[in-house]
Structure 1
Amino acid sequence: MPPVVFLGPSAPASDISSILPDAIIRPPARRGDLYAYRILKHEFFLILDGAFGNVLAISPREVVDVVQDGAVVVGASSMGALRAADCLPAGAHGVGIIFRLFKHQAISAEDEVAVLYREEMPFPPLTEPLINMRIALRRATRKGLVGASEAEEIISAAQSLHYTMRTWPGAYQKAGRHLPSEMLDLLKAIDTKRADAILAAKRVSKMREASKAPLRRSNSSQLFGLLGNGRERPADALSGPGRQQIGPEFIEWLCCSGKAYRWLHSEITRLNGELVAPISSVWNILDGSGELETELMRFNVFKRAISEARRCGLRPSIEDHRQAERQLVNAHGVDSWNELLISIGNDSSYSERLSIHRTQLALTKCLRRTFLFGPGQSTKPREVLLWHPK
């Protein structure tokens, strides 16, 4: 059976067809697409792009089920890189720089790879993925074409733009910088998503050639959970700890980050400086909204980023603190940090917790900035070598 490739704006279809001439090239993957093609006994899947937003995105559970059924799933470039990093322990394969950055949690959000494109004409994309901008500026900085401070300003400006408005001219304009046409051509030529897509297609080709025996197939009459209750079995986002173990800290993170106000405003109260809420109520509300697993994974990434930054001995800069403060202000729906503190009232304990959270958030931003623009190797996390151009 030919391989199935889920492709959108990451690369032209001709790039993939030249490497996998018999491949079935499908639009960005949606929930259920892997199941559908696995039922037809396809054995190799390459996920590059995935739909999200107004449709259900392909879930980690679906990838795990298809891998456990005996298929080979390779991910790269965009949603594929994210899902490959999620499902690596279950046997999924990841390829390329972007996959490695998701794997090592240097990046974690779909926003890093999201772009605007026309479904009938997916390539080239109409906007620039943030991860391409990070890597392009990183390489331009290493070549001495862009100063580190200028690169930081441009990335900060790009982050503040919605992905549907994110372009090189837009980011430079928002940062108050001039973009020469020669520099624009150089930056746009560094297309990491496309390079990773080509690399992944070559990996699939080699894996097919190396496969001398048919891959194992499941004899399950339940079609690996499709017809049973297992299709959407929740992943263990925190790798073991139960709700009672992480509940209080998770609730505090929801409140301090501002995320709680969307779902839990009426459930969470503060009593004698302590954040109080029935843990079961928080779980039920988030689970009902479909956001429980996502928020638990974000919480886990946040805690691990802090731990990694401290291991590396990093110290947030003033700009890191400003970005963290701005993010918290926006999340709480106020105009300034002072206004946020005033809204808390006389709750000095919660004010202190909020300030600690701001410092922790600044530390995660310092970690991300160090990956991109750190001046020396001694203070960088181990995975920073992944950024080095070949």
Structure 2
Amino acid sequence: MKIVFAGPSIHGLDNALLAACEMRPPAGCGDVLRAVVAGADAIGLIDGVFESERSVWHKEMLFALASGVRVMGAASIGALRAAECQAFGMEGIGAIFEQYRSGERICDADVALAHAPAELGYVPLTEALVDIEPVIARLAAEDWLGADEAKALLAAARHIHFKQRTWNAVLDAADFDETRRAELLHARRSFGLSQKQRDASEMIAAISSSEPLVHMDLHTFEFSRTAFFDQLQRQTPLKDPAQC
């Protein structure tokens, strides 16, 4: 059983891509633990909750890995956890993971965005910085933006809180006129999938395959149970939510 936790990062992707996995909502604390107990042999982490609920623990990743489960991460909180747990065998996928792994990107808020609830398909309502920055770079590379314009857009995007960071808000903050706004928004729409969507697609394709994505020379580790993990295990209802 291959279980993938995702929400806004896969909005708009072809449903055929998702068919090989059991898709579940963004992961919260206890969800990966529950998936292991339910019998998952592979777990993909893309999106997760934060602020409103407790986030998925690193300890859950280690528990899954120590239990022989293949664990992969990409695009959003999955990229963060993969960078943090790579030494223990978690596989990271995509450009966003590579940025965190290398230290090029260090702020976990860069993947954050606001989105609609499950009933509305987790449609993104704001833009993550990890999606805005490569678009600005591509606009500059294709001569849609001058150097000063690109600098102004980057500064605006990095200054705006993720709950208010939309393209319109960024263009407003950078003081672009209506003509330039229309040109840039048109160019941006022509670029297709966002970086999060591309990384999520790559991870889902990889986890759907029976072959490991990478061959890593890992140090074996012994899972160390703690009082906090034992408490989480006691407090987490282990019934498979798909059967509820």
C-alpha contact 1:7 1:13 (8 A) present in aligned 2:
no
C-alpha contact 1:75 1:94 (8 A) present in aligned 2:
yes
**Using the alignment, how far apart are the partners of 1:114 and 1:202 within structure 2?**
23
- Residue matched to 2:33: 35
- Residue matched to 1:113: 111
- Residue matched to 2:166: 167
**Using the alignment, how far apart are the partners of 2:13 and 2:158 within structure 1?**
31
User: Is 1:21 matched with 2:24?
Assistant: no
Counterpart of 1:176, as a letter, is D
The within-5 A match list for 1:287-366 is: none
C-alpha contact 1:88 1:94 (8 A) present in aligned 2:
yes
- Shift of the alpha carbon at 1:229? 2.5
Cα deviation digits, residues 236-264 of structure 1 (max 9, x gap):
xxxxxxxxxxxxxxxxxxxxxxxxxxxxx
Aligned pair count?
218
C-alpha contact 2:171 2:181 (8 A) present in aligned 1:
no
- Residue matched to 2:102: 104
Cα deviation digits, residues 325-384 of structure 1 (max 9, x gap):
xxxxxxxxxxxxxxxxxxxxxxxxxxxxxxxxxxxxxxxxxxxxxxxxxxxxxxxxxxxx
**Using the alignment, how far apart are the partners of 2:29 and 2:20 within structure 1?**
24
1:203 to 182, 202, 206: 206
**Using the alignment, how far apart are the partners of 2:160 and 2:140 within structure 1?**
22
Q: 1:204 to 1:13 in 2, by over 3 A?
A: farther
- Shift of the alpha carbon at 1:143? 1.5
C-alpha contact 1:11 1:124 (8 A) present in aligned 2:
no
TM-score, length basis structure 1: 0.52
Q: 1:175 to 1:20 in 2, by over 3 A?
A: closer
**Using the alignment, how far apart are the partners of 2:59 and 2:77 within structure 1?**
14
- Shift of the alpha carbon at 1:85? 0.7
Q: 1:25 to 1:225 in 2, by over 3 A?
A: farther
Cα deviation digits, residues 24-72 of structure 1 (max 9, x gap):
2111110111100101111111111011112111122221221121101
**Using the alignment, how far apart are the partners of 1:49 and 1:203 within structure 2?**
17
Match of 1:166, SS state, is coil
- Residue matched to 1:61: 59
User: Is 1:184 matched with 2:185?
Assistant: yes
| Two-structure CA RMSD over aligned residues (Å) | 2.4
Question: Could you say which structure has the greater relative contact order, defined with CA pairs below 8 angstroms and 6 or more residues apart?
Answer: 2
The within-5 A match list for 1:141-160 is: 141-160=140-159
Match of 1:138, SS state, is helix
Counterpart of 2:183, as a letter, is E
Give the gaps of 5 or more residues in structure 1: 212-219, 233-390
Counterpart of 1:195, as a letter, is R
- Residue matched to 1:51: 49
Query: Which protein has the larger Cα radius of gyration, Structure 1 or Structure 2?
Result: 1
**Using the alignment, how far apart are the partners of 1:70 and 1:12 within structure 2?**
30
C-alpha contact 2:48 2:55 (8 A) present in aligned 1:
yes
**Using the alignment, how far apart are the partners of 1:54 and 1:225 within structure 2?**
28
- Shift of the alpha carbon at 1:187? 2.1
- Shift of the alpha carbon at 1:113? 1.1
Counterpart of 1:165, as a letter, is Q
**Using the alignment, how far apart are the partners of 1:10 and 1:106 within structure 2?**
21
Match of 2:71, SS state, is strand
